[in-house]
Amino acid sequence: MLDPLSVLLYIHSLRAEVVMEDFRRLYLRLCKEGGIDPQESLLAQLQDSRAGRLDLSGQSLTVDTCSILARILHNDTVCTEVLLSDCMLSEEGVKLMLNSLCSNTTVKVLDLKGNNMRATGAEALGQVLMRNKVLRRLVLEWNALGMWEEGFSVFCEGLASSSSLSQLDLRNNQINHQGAAALCSALKRNSTLQDLDLRWNNIGLLGGRSLLEAMQQNRTLMRLEMAGNNIPSDTLRAIEQSMSHNVDRQSTLRESRSRTQVLSKEIQILKEEKSRQVSSSAAFSHDVWGPLLATVCNWYLSLMDTIDRQKDEMGRSSRNSSVRLGQLQEALSEQKSSVNSLTAKLLKRSVRSCVRLQMMEAALALAEQKARDLNELLTRVKLEKNELRERHAREIKKEQELEDSERRCKAQQDQIFELKQELANSTAELKLRLAQTEERLELEKRRSKQTLEDLDTLRQKEVDHLTRHQEDSERALQERILKLEGQRIQLEEELSRVRSSLVTERAQAQEELGKVRAQVRLEEQQHVSSLEEKLRAVRQSRDESQNHCTQQKQSIAELQGRVGQQSIEIDALRRHIQELQQDLAGKEQQKLAELSRVRVELQEQIGHLQADQAAQGSLKEKMAALQRENKALSVSHREALLDKDSEISSLLERLRIRESEIQRMRDDEAQRATFLQNAVLSFVQSSPRAHCTPQK
């Protein structure tokens, strides 16, 4: 039996080949209609591309080719990734491609790395972000978008209104503090972006402060890369702290959503089991689903009872706190009244007795202490009441989340109905394929029967032909015998004249006659044996055809058995897919750990480079000081000027050597970063998710 996963992978590969072949045919047809010569390199790239991914990286695309591709992508429903990195597209080509993506509903990844885009391209990108509702990832590395302020402002406006973009790569785009301000204005209004890469730009201190202010309002951005922008470390730490708050908030939301999903799944399982219990037999439902249904019902009822008890406890505690607060207020008022009365008595009797006055003052101090204690107790009670109110508000929020989860359960029920519909469609498709297989089997039966009939007819014809041939040979032999008899008569007539020669010729004739008869018999035997061999071959082919028919019947029985086991195999396949997803999550964690390690190494190397740059700056300052000193002493010290010139030239030579070393180190670091990036990309592409994406 075939492995279901291998069958699905094979079907997916066939579908991918068909999809890309259709894309290639459409490209050729549009080129022919427009009178444009198709690019051979583009055709070869389309031949090698997999389904759903239009990879044209490194291709030199003309404006005509871009117009054809734009027409295809305008209504395309297949491609989910469009990779146009390092294509050096012209302004017109970029505009055509991006305008076609404004109305596209399937492209989720767009890579425009290294295309030297200008203001027109930036404005077109802004329109794409405003109008496209499905784009998730946008790569704009090495495009110098920050040089065009108006175009970059339009791009930022599009980013602010985008409702789908979650990843944006703006590395090496020469973004200054003004561009950073526009970008921050967009981040304050954007609610979907989660990953932003701004490494190796010119944001500076002002741009860093703008980003920090934007992060105070943004609640969705969880990853922001800012290396190589001359931003102070304290600002970077503040930005990282804001991102950590966002990460904690998103993790809390994910946890609540996961709990809601678990609850909705359990409720859905309860409903499904209830429906299955109604549709299935009474014994099976009682033995299998009855305990599960009772368990889930008890859990749900216990959950609702727990919520009700918490509500009652909160109400009782709030009532008790209010009663206790009233009692404390009454006690405080009584203490105040007693203190006032004591004070009045002390004032009346102060002249009479100083000792009594001191005692009353001590009593007054004690009363004031009690009053302060009561005030503190009242404050604590108020704080407890506020905490109870907050707890009550959180419980109300949980109830609202429960209602939201119930609404989501209804939506998931609709999705399950759609999945059931798809399962019914796939079952109908399998039945249709089975019917087609049976039709092909009947056709093969008819063909084998026709072949047997043809073989029988051919055998009968060959037997008739051999019979006729044998009769013809017998007639020829009889005629030859008659001729020999005539020759014998002639020889007898000439016997009287040439007896000696007649005896010799007669012996020769008899000898020749024996040879001829033996040869004829041998030929007949050989011919009969060959006919028997042909007859055996025909019978053997007939037996083989019958065996083939039997095997076809057995294969039909096996196919019916496979159709019966299809549901079990689908369940096994789903479990296998879940295991693959778990493995993928583990590999993603490993990838994140590797990326963090690489990031730390790069930051260390960047620190070394910055130290070298600081040393270079000190050398430049020394050179400037020497030049100023040279100018001050140029009139009176010509000879000293020559010495200083020689010293400056040596310093310049050392500076040039140091700059060349720094440049070489930068090139090495850039090459190493490229190697690391390629290694990470290859690792990601080699993960099981790259091979199991069709399930998505």
Q: Strands (DSSP E) along 400-526, which ranges?
A: none
Q: Convert 434-457 into a string of H (helix), E (strand) and C (coil).
A: HHHHHHHHHHHHHHHHHHHHHHHH
- Asked whether the beta carbons of 64 and 91 are under 8 A apart, the reply is no
Highest mean pLDDT pick, 47-51, 170-174, 447-451: 170-174
pLDDT for 237 beyond 80: yes
**Mean pLDDT, the chain, whole residue set:** 80
What number of CA atoms fall less than 13 Å from residue 250's CA on the CB side? 16
Lowest mean pLDDT among 156-160, 361-365, 514-518: 361-365
- Checking if the pLDDT of 417 tops 50, the result is yes
Query: What mean pLDDT do residues 480-487 have?
Result: 82
Average pLDDT over residues 370-375: 76
pLDDT at 468: 84
Average pLDDT over residues 336-356: 63
Whether pTM exceeds 0.75: no
- What average pLDDT does the segment 509-522 reach? 79
Please tell me the distance from the alpha carbon of residue 679 to that of residue 674, in angstroms, as a whole number. Answer: 8
Q: Name the nearest CA neighbour of 232 among 621, 610, 662.
A: 610
CB atoms within 10 A of CB 415: 10
**pLDDT tier at 295 (50, 70, 90 boundaries)?**
low
Q: What single DSSP character describes residue 694?
A: G
Looking at residue 11, its pLDDT comes to 52
pLDDT of residue 283: 47
Q: Are the C-beta atoms of residues 141 and 170 closer than 8 Å to each other?
A: yes
Q: Residue 608 — pLDDT band, cuts 50, 70, 90?
A: confident
User: Residue 433 and residue 566: Cα distance in Å, rounded?
Assistant: 14
Report the 10 Å Cβ neighbour count for 180: 26
Give me the mean pLDDT over the 102-120 stretch: 92
Residue 15 has pLDDT above 70, yes or no: no
Is residue 222 a contact partner of residue 192, using CB atoms and an 8 Å limit? no
Residue 101 has pLDDT above 70, yes or no: yes
User: CA angle 268-269-274, nearest 5°?
Assistant: 100
E strand residue ranges, 375-499: none
Specify the 3-state DSSP secondary structure of 137: strand
Check residue 2 and give its pLDDT.
Answer: 43
Q: What average pLDDT does this structure show over 508-525?
A: 80
Residue 210 is predicted with a pLDDT of: 93
Residue 590 has pLDDT above 50, yes or no: yes
pLDDT at position 462, please?
Answer: 80
Higher pLDDT, 264 or 237: 237
- When pLDDT is cut at 50, 70 and 90, the band that residue 557 belongs to is confident
Any idea which of 352-356, 468-472, 677-681 has the lowest mean pLDDT?
352-356
Lowest-pLDDT range, 127-131, 226-230, 561-565? 561-565
Phi, psi for 83 (deg, rounded to 5): -110, 110
What confidence score (pLDDT) does residue 284 get? 45
> Between 674 and 355, whose confidence is greater?
674
pLDDT digits (tens, 9 = 90+) for 179-192: 999 999 999 999 99
Residue 294's pLDDT band, with cuts at 50, 70 and 90, is low
Which three-class secondary structure state does DSSP give residue 82? Answer: strand
Q: How much of the chain, in percent, has pLDDT values that exceed 90?
A: 23
83, β-bridge pairs? 55, 111
User: pLDDT by residue (tens digit) across 118-173?
Assistant: 899 999 999 999 999 999 999 999 998 999 999 999 999 999 999 999 999 999 99
pLDDT in tens, 626-668: 777 767 766 776 776 677 777 888 888 888 888 888 888 888 8
d(CA 148, CA 429): 56
Q: What is the pLDDT of residue 167?
A: 96
